[in-house]
Each structure stands twice: as C-alpha cells, then as structure tokens.
Amino acid sequence: MINMIKDKTKCKIVVGQNGLVWVKGNEDMEQLTREIIHLIEAEAHTSGLTNKIKNKLYLAIDGELPPEEVEETEEEFVLEKPKLQNFKEELEQEEKEAEENAAEEEKEKKEKPDIGEVIEEFKRKNKSKDGSLSYGDNSNNSFILNNK
C-alpha cells in the first residue's frame, strides 16, 4: 500500500523501525499522504482498505475513480477421454527396422576379414630367410616385424 501511495503522490516515504513516517514531496501531496496515513491508522482493521485507499487517491489526484480491473476468467479446462491408439503399425515398423539393422550388421561381419587370419596370411606370404617379417610397397616405405 505504501508503494501505491508513493507512486500516485510522487512523494518519498520512509517508515522507521520505531513507527515514525517521514514524507517529502510537493506540499499538497504531503498533506494528502498525511490524510491517507491517518485513514489507514484509523481503519486498519477493516476489510477492503486497499481498494478504499486506492479510490481516495485516484479521486483526490485524478478526479475520477480508477479503471475497473477486469479479472480474467480462466477458460474451463475440460478433460478429454484419451483416444485409443493403434500401436500395431508402429510396432511392426520398429520390428522391421530392427531386422534390417541386424541383417546389415551380419553382412558387415561377413565382409570384414578376421584379423587373426589376416596376420597369419601376412606371415606366410612375407616370411624371409632370417625369420623376420618384412613388408615393402615399392614406395621406399618398408616395415619389418621382428617375430623372434
């Protein structure tokens, strides 16, 4: 409520911990603020006091009541019955994709040579007289594997 009074009267208002209220602003607005504070003091126990103070401020400063605040009515939220879905097609599609993936993986396994077999074949083809393995590709790059 103090902020509402500050905003409407453009006065500086400080409320001390001891209950004293300091008001600084236009002389007319200081007087209005004093009246409003005394009204709050006298009617602190009544309901609807904030609206009463708001109306008094608007009438004194603007000469008219504040515009009515229209409460936004919430749209009624109606729960709908869940619709049954046919998951059979989705399930069949997923199974088909899984089978295709498994077939592709099996095909890749068959196409890739076994590393053990490749090494043994390399050993047979490139064994030299001294018992070491060597490989050359005519590009001045050669590799020697010492297998002793």
Q: Read off the pLDDT of residues 84-93 as tens digits, 9 standing for 90 and up.
A: 677 778 888 8
Question: Which residue has 């103070």 as its token pair?
Answer: 53
The answer to whether residue 128 sits within a structural domain is: yes
Domain of residue 49: give its range: 2-61
Indicate the pairing of strand 133-136 with strand 142-145: antiparallel
Query: Which pLDDT score, from 0 to 100, does residue 148 have?
Result: 47
- Answer yes or no: is pLDDT of 137 > 70: no
From CA 57, how far away is CA 33, in angstroms rounded?
A: 9
The answer to whether residue 73 sits within a structural domain is: no
Query: Which pLDDT score, from 0 to 100, does residue 116 have?
Result: 78
Whether the CB-CB separation of 10 and 3 falls below 8 Å is answered with: no
The answer to whether residue 9 sits within a structural domain is: yes
The answer to whether residue 36 sits within a structural domain is: yes
Query: Which pLDDT score, from 0 to 100, does residue 132 have?
Result: 60
The answer to whether residue 121 sits within a structural domain is: yes
Query: Which pLDDT score, from 0 to 100, does residue 61 have?
Result: 87
The answer to whether residue 93 sits within a structural domain is: no
From CA 18, how far away is CA 30, in angstroms rounded?
A: 20
Share of the chain above pLDDT 90, in %: 36
The answer to whether residue 40 sits within a structural domain is: yes
Q: Please give the tally of structural domains in the chain.
A: 2
121 against 3, higher pLDDT = 3
Query: Which pLDDT score, from 0 to 100, does residue 38 have?
Result: 92
Whether the CB-CB separation of 53 and 40 falls below 8 Å is answered with: yes
Query: Which pLDDT score, from 0 to 100, does residue 138 have?
Result: 52
Query: Which pLDDT score, from 0 to 100, does residue 18 have?
Result: 92
Question: Which ranges of 1-132 does DSSP label H, i.e. alpha helix?
Answer: 2-9, 27-42, 49-61, 88-111, 115-126
Mean pLDDT of the chain: 80
From CA 133, how far away is CA 127, in angstroms rounded?
A: 5
CA distances 38 to 51, 66, 107, Å, are 16, 22, 91
Reported as a single tens digit per residue, the pLDDT across 25-64 is 999 999 999 999 999 999 999 899 999 999 999 888 888 8
The answer to whether residue 80 sits within a structural domain is: no
pTM flag (> 0.75): no
Reported as a single tens digit per residue, the pLDDT across 71-82 is 555 667 777 777
Query: Which pLDDT score, from 0 to 100, does residue 76 have?
Result: 73
From CA 126, how far away is CA 146, in angstroms rounded?
A: 12
